[in-house]
Chain A
Amino acid sequence: MMQELIYALPLTLIFILSIAVIMVDAFTGKNKTVAYYFSIAGLLGVIIAAIYTMTLPSADLAKMAYEGTISKGMLTYGGYAAFFDILFAVAGILTIVAAKPYLTREYGEYKEFYSLIIFAISGMMTIAHASNMVTIFIGIEIMSITFYVLAGFIRTRITSVEAALKYFLLGSFASGFLLYGMAMVYGATGTLQLQEISAKIATGEIVNIYLQIGLALLIIGLSFKVAAFPFHQWAPDVYTGSPTVVTGFMSTAGKAAALVAFIVIAKSLLPTNFGATLINDKLIVVKEFTENATMIIALISAATMLIGNITAIAQKNVKRMLAYSSVAHAGYLMMGIVANNENGFAGIVFYSTAYMLMQIGAFVVVGVLERDDTKFQQISDYSGLRKSHPYLAAVMALFMFSLAGIPPMAGFPGKYLLFTATIQSGYTWLTIVAVVSSIISMWFYIGLVLNMYFKEKEGDALVADVKSSHFTIAVSVIGVIILGILPSFLIDLAKNFF
């Protein structure tokens, strides 16, 4: 009992924090710094708690689910859940720090922003801790609803409002799919507990048609949440319209959270370890079904990376280009789901960490340079950035090389691990598609570097408004380089989770 309370500490903390920030907001009046520092301190507390739970022994966690725990087995603790707690909290801190100067300049600093970010993080952490379909759904909803608000945070801007409305309408539709899919799975297996579902599927004693429809609906819903083809159409508009710091947060932490949901669902609904001796007719049907389902996810993944990268080539706006490339990265990440093995999931953990750092970093650089919603966002505006802001240009180039997957930056080991996993599970063709789309992506990543370094600026030079964003950029750069050169500790850590 007590042990579980300790294990649940990060989750409890973040929920207390999300309420507390509103209170602090209410009682501090015009003083904005208190809420700002309070949120950062709170998130640091969450990180410390999560690191602590990650080091705790995880052996009796599985037992706990059945032996009358407080959560009645709805939650899981430690391991990857704790790791993702850290990841989300770090993303939150990076975003909050970078958002302060951005919002002050573009719209005005409103303290709700901090509590909204923390609400979103609590949703994501719920997903990471879920061991029951319902918990996953609650987490996704908390996260999504906060995102709708965050997308429309600058309510005087038509683009921002458009993004929010679009995201809300389509997103709630997708949530419907998700929920219906869960209901179908319940119909097929008679339980919502993920472990029991997978145990049930492994026996073959299930209603196949319900499971198939259910999984299809779940894939649709989750593909929407990670912005995968053909459910990615909302992403570019929403990512472009939202305030830039929010986009950075949504497209990294949000994507990672949706992928965690994807991982747990894929792990329990698509079991790979059928005992050879226990094979009977029913199991053969199930096995065939899981193979087909994996193939469908593979096709989605392949299409996502190709479409994302090809459309990104045509973009003239940096934010939009990064939005499309973010779609493509969802495709890369889904390779880990397709692989459905230790390496694949570890690859997702590693790559989403690396991706978080480089993508937030890139969006913060965009946010630092842009003005009044749409000004200074064109790729051509970045011409000659090297001259006016050598350090910004250098870090942006670094992020671009990392996104393109060129060693020794963090993007490369991540891709390598995902490739390894995919080839291991026999999907060599998917790796080749990934390689081809990486080649396509070089064009626009390198194109931006080309503009920054080799072209001269005509007209006014860009003015950077960095201030506290320095911190975010510095952390991202250091992270990208360290993860690129010494990826071993994170990979080994991630492999132990699964």
Chain B
Amino acid sequence: MTALFITLFLPLVGSLLLLFFKKENTKAIKNTALGISIATFVVSLFLFFGFDSNNPGFQYVFEAKWITAFDAGFRIGIDGMSMLLVMLTTFITPIAIFASFNSITKREKEYYIMVMLLQFAMTGVFMALDLFLFYIFWEIILIPMYFIIGIWGGKDRLYATVKFFLFTVVGSLFMLVAIVWLGMYAGETLLKLPSGFTTNYLLIKEVAQNIPVDIQEWLFLAFALSFLIKVPLFPLHTWLPDAHTEAPTPGSVILAGVLLKMGTYGLIRFNLELFPQASFEYASLISVLAVVGIIYGALVAMVQTDIKRLVAYSSVSHLGFVVLGIFSMTAEGIQGAIIQMVNHGLSTGMLFLCVGFLYERRHTRDIAEYGGIARVMPVFTVFFAIAMFASVGLPGLNGFVGEFLTLVGAFKSPFLNSHWYSIVAASGVIFAAVYLLWMFQRVMYGTNDNPKNHNLTDMTKSEWAMLVPMVIFIVWIGVYPKSFLNISENSSRALVNKLEMIKFGKPTYQLPEMKQKTMENIPNSQNNIKK
């Protein structure tokens, strides 16, 4: 629990600490930011290794009173799914901060304060076990991201940042109404609490399936709108290419690496868990949109002339797999979705870093400006190729595992009940190969006939330091995904069991400690109600 606290609050402490630094003292600011984020990662390792993967429930749960009037508490805890995403956050952030050393050259102090604040809020989103707290973290993210794109972004940054802000706010405010509604309905009608209101996730989770289906559908839509904008699902994706393209490299890395995962995480954590019957209703609609997004994102990516924009559209396509996996509502699909979230964070994050390295050398992202880079930057080519192949989904690298599992999940899903989702979605993998390989070929191979490209330097030491850790995990997940899948397995199986119980009356899989767990849980939750 201490580790959980430190993981959450250390970045906040760091950002407050940075306030007291002198603006000119950029070196100290940079080192402190990096030091704190690495320390956070180290602390989060204790979480990771102390995690009991046999337990499908929440661990390290901490609860404190906060706003008693509407029973909003400071409740945090993690289960298998959030564990992996917390790790992803603490892993990506130091790399992003390190990448900022070169690419951010103005107003450093404010920048690092914003990034640390962002990490705090992102970790909070994955840890929150209270809807009110979750919403607070969800909204706090807007402020640093708004400034990061708006101040340190490219030339159309104002347009991009306002678009990002408005899109997100539209979704989240409707979610707020749904949260209030749910809190009141659960507190008053379902749980009959004296306060008549609660946003305690653990309590609501137990009873939410008793909400009448027509109401569930509205709540589902309000939550889903917010999350699907964040993911982003076709046709709500239009903010993403702008935000990605205009954000500074580390901003894109965090955006792609972690921020988008908040949407997919929310879908699993809230939509599936709280509104199961409504999820059955909307599963096919959302899956169709996911498949459309896979194909659409890939096709649009194919015609991009800007490398960063291409990678941005590839995100639309990749996140489509994640959403498809989630709404297949099978253990394979959800496990695949979770591991694919991590994969996408790693491989797309790495692609953005690589594009950033090129940009720093040449100050252009136009594909036509490049060609034959492999001759001058051979080592870089290898790393870029690894990231690219991971993104394509080459077996042996991480992307394959995730995409394969989501496709299997969608294929055999009793909820979607059609093979066509997988069949069409699988063609997205081919398209991914087309646009990524084609881009790679145009940038890296061919003749190096642009004189500006003749004297590019190969990877520097710091660039090595950023990419090597990512490569390690890309290969690790590709070769032996079990060490990560294990963590989230029981949590996702528990969720799938719950869904199957509601739909078919019996789960297909017996959890290892299922019996004891339920025995323990039920009296506990009743005690809570009595309190």
Could you list which residues of chain A lie within 8 angstroms of chain B, going by C-beta atoms? 343, 346, 401, 406-408, 412-413, 416-417, 419-420, 423-424, 428, 431-432, 435, 438-439, 442-443, 446-447, 449-450, 453-455, 487-488, 491-492, 495
Contacts and interface: CB of A to CB of B under 8 A. Distances in A.
A420 B67 contact: no
B69 A431 contact: no
A488 B150 contact: no
Nearest to B135: A407
B422 interface: no
Contact of A446 (B65, B146, B197): B146
Contacts of A416: 70, 132, 176, 180
Determine which residue in B166, B174, B177, B196 has the highest number of CB atoms from chain A within 10 A of its CB, and name it: B177
A417 B150 contact: no
The contact size tier of chain B is 35 or more
B484 interface: no
A110 B15 CA distance: 45
A432 B225 CA distance: 14
Contacts of B166: 439, 442-443, 446
Interface string B136-177: 100110110011001100000110011001100110011011
A108 B183 CA distance: 54
Given A407-B135, A453-B147, A423 B184 contact: yes
Contacts of A428: 177, 181
Given A407-B139, A454-B157, A435 B70 contact: no
B184 A424 contact: yes
A417 B176 contact: no
B70 A417 contact: yes
A488 B157 contact: no
Contact of B136 (A408, A419, A495): A408
Among B150, B162, B180, find the residue whose CB has the most chain A CB atoms closer than 10 A: B180
A446 B165 contact: yes
A454 B150 contact: yes
User: 7 tightest A-B contacts by CB?
Assistant: A491-B69, A407-B136, A435-B173, A488-B67, A454-B150, A419-B180, A407-B139
A395 B305 CA distance: 41
B162 A435 contact: no
Contacts, number: 87
16 contacts: A408-B136, A416-B70, A416-B176, A416-B180, A420-B180, A423-B180, A432-B174, A435-B176, A435-B177, A439-B170, A446-B162, A446-B166, A450-B150, A450-B158, A453-B150, A488-B69
Contacts of B132: 416
B207 to A, nearest CB: 18
Contacts of A406: 139-140, 142-143
Interface of B: 65-70, 132, 135-136, 139-140, 142-143, 146-147, 150-151, 157-158, 161-162, 165-166, 169-170, 173-174, 176-177, 180-181, 183-184, 196-197
Nearest to B158: A454
A278 B145 CA distance: 58
Contacts of A442: 165-166, 169
Which one of B66, B135, B143, B157 has the greatest number of beta carbons of chain A within 10 Å?
Answer: B143
Given A406-B143, A417-B69, A495-B69, A454 B136 contact: no
B151 A454 contact: yes
A453 B149 CA distance: 11
Nearest to B188: A424
Nearest to A432: B177
B360 to A, nearest CB: 22
Nearest to A449: B146
Given A416-B176, A432-B174, 7 more contacts: A412-B139, A420-B70, A424-B196, A435-B173, A438-B173, A442-B166, A491-B70
A488 B181 contact: no
A416 B197 CA distance: 12
A495 B161 CA distance: 39
A438 B150 CA distance: 22
Contacts of B66: 488
B405 to A, nearest CB: 36
A488 B150 CA distance: 34
A453 B67 contact: no
A487 B67 contact: yes
A408 B120 CA distance: 13
A449 B158 CA distance: 11
A439 B177 contact: no
Nearest to B150: A454
B480 to A, nearest CB: 41
Nearest to B67: A488
Nearest to A422: B180
Contacts of B146: 446, 449
Contacts of B150: 450, 453-454
Contacts of A419: 176-177, 180
A39 B162 CA distance: 45
A420 B178 CA distance: 11
Nearest to B165: A446
Nearest to B157: A454
A435 B150 CA distance: 25
B40 to A, nearest CB: 20
A348 B157 CA distance: 38
Interface-central residue, A346, A416, A417, A435, by most chain B CB under 10 Å? A416
Contacts of A443: 166
Contact of B162 (A343, A432, A450): A450
Given A419-B176, A420-B197, A492 B69 contact: yes
Contacts of B147: 453
B143 to A, nearest CB: 7
B223 to A, nearest CB: 14
Contacts of B67: 413, 487-488, 491
Contacts of B157: 454
A98 to B, nearest CB: 25
Q: Which of B173, B174, B183 has the most CB of A within 10 A?
A: B173
Nearest to A490: B69
B136 A435 contact: no
B64 to A, nearest CB: 11
A383 to B, nearest CB: 12
Contacts of A446: 146, 162, 165-166
A424 B162 CA distance: 34
B211 to A, nearest CB: 15
Contacts of A346: 69
Contacts of A438: 169, 173
Nearest to A446: B165
A224 to B, nearest CB: 30
A416 B70 CA distance: 9
Contacts of A495: 69
Contacts of B197: 420
Nearest to A428: B181
Contacts of B65: 488
